[in-house]
A and B are shown apart, each in its own frame.
Chain A
Amino acid sequence: MTTSYELPVTKPSTKPWSEIWNFEVLVPKPTELAGNVVTLLWPIINQATITGRNLEETIGDQFRRLAEQWRNETSMLSSPTETILHPAYWRIILMGLSVVPLILRDLRETGGYWFFALEKITGATPPGANSSDLNQVIEAWLNWGRANEYIV
């Protein structure tokens, strides 16, 4: 006799990114836990507590560091090849979808060649993103970000 299983269907969240990223994993206070050991270790436990907010900050800090490195080391370049092949730029691409809201925020504030990273990460091609006018391309991606709730 064989048993068939249905794979669970995961629907994409309809919540805005800001809500998804603001969840927190609650950890009980040390007074709620028994034993001196836990109390002694509380500062370490507390520091290691993972919350959604911390996760965002961690990703955000990493993104900001890499983005700043990319900007600092490419802003004086004329070569688009070197700008886009910069290791910090590719490390940001490898961070995946989690950095899309951060890229879009940076794109809105500083412009530049973020569209290539957005293409690679999302696989999307928003209307207008193939324009030869960089400002139009930037606007196309910002509109895409708003429509997909990456920008709130």
Chain B
Amino acid sequence: MALTQQELKVFPSLRMGRFREMSRRTTTRRDVKYNCIAFAAGDTTQPWWPPVPTVQRFYYWPAGIPVEETLDAFMSAFASLGYTPCSSPNLEPRIEKVAFFVKPNGVPGHAAIQRENGMWHSKLGDLEDIEHNLRDLECATYGTVQAYMQRTRRDS
């Protein structure tokens, strides 16, 4: 299944032709195997989120990281992977960057990882993985880009 018009409505800036689907659902079942945070962290085996009651057993969260839905906690989780804060989303040789989207209430809504071609790569919740311009995913659901982190690319 490709992204539907209904799903695309959530992202007012995401226009046809300005993003590329990198994966495609093969069934109507929701793909909750991993989420955007896990994907940005390079883990496609399990979803990442600070444990919340009732569904905590399905989610991974690094040990020792504050269990709270805040940008600081999410950045701490990525710091445990070797990322350090940076100020720019610009492409730099041999540097891997992650961008965090945060909603007005301070809760992180999304994370995207930069590809070597300068485009950004995201897992959209239970939906597809897409390649996109960073700010095209800014919306009420995800919030706006508020922070970046970087580390040396592992394959460089």
Question: Complex formed: what's the CA distance from A130 to B57 in Å?
Answer: 8
Report whether over half of chain B's contact residues are helix, strand or loop; otherwise say mixed: loop
A80 within 8 A of B: yes
- CB contacts (< 8 Å) of B55 on chain A: these are 80, 84, 113, 116
Question: Complex formed: what's the CA distance from A45 to B67 in Å?
Answer: 58
The range of chain A's interface size is 20 to 34
Interface residues of B in 4-57 (CB under 8 A from A): 6-7, 10, 28-30, 32, 35-37, 47, 49, 52, 54-55, 57
Pick the contact of B109 from A79, A80, A116, A132 — CB < 8 Å? Answer: A79
B7-A112 in contact (CB<8A): no
A111-B125 in contact (CB<8A): no
B54-A116 in contact (CB<8A): yes
Question: Complex formed: what's the CA distance from A71 to B4 in Å?
Answer: 12
Give the A-B pair count, Cβ closer than 8 A: 70
Q: Mark A127-143, 1 if CB is under 8 A from B, else 0.
A: 00011101000000000
A110 within 8 A of B: yes
Smallest beta-carbon distance A70→chain B, Å: 11
A13 within 8 A of B: no
- CB contacts (< 8 Å) of B127 on chain A: these are 75-76
A10 within 8 A of B: no
Smallest beta-carbon distance A43→chain B, Å: 35
A75-B52 in contact (CB<8A): no
Smallest beta-carbon distance B69→chain A, Å: 7
Given contacts A78-B35, A79-B69, A111-B30, contact A72 B59 (CB under 8 A): no
Given contacts A77-B125, A81-B69, contact A72 B7 (CB under 8 A): yes
Interface residues of A in 54-104 (CB under 8 A from B): 71-81, 84
A80-B59 in contact (CB<8A): yes
B107 within 8 A of A: yes
CB-nearest residue of chain B to A112: B30
CB-nearest residue of chain B to A75: B126
Question: Complex formed: what's the CA distance from A81 to B110 in Å?
Answer: 14
Question: Complex formed: what's the CA distance from A113 to B49 in Å?
Answer: 15
Subset of 21 A-B contacts with CB under 8 Å: A74-B125, A75-B7, A75-B125, A75-B126, A76-B127, A76-B141, A77-B109, A78-B109, A78-B123, A79-B107, A79-B109, A80-B47, A81-B49, A81-B69, A84-B54, A110-B30, A111-B29, A111-B30, A112-B32, A112-B126, A113-B32
Closest 7 CB pairs of A and B: A78-B35, A111-B29, A76-B125, A132-B57, A112-B30, A80-B55, A78-B36
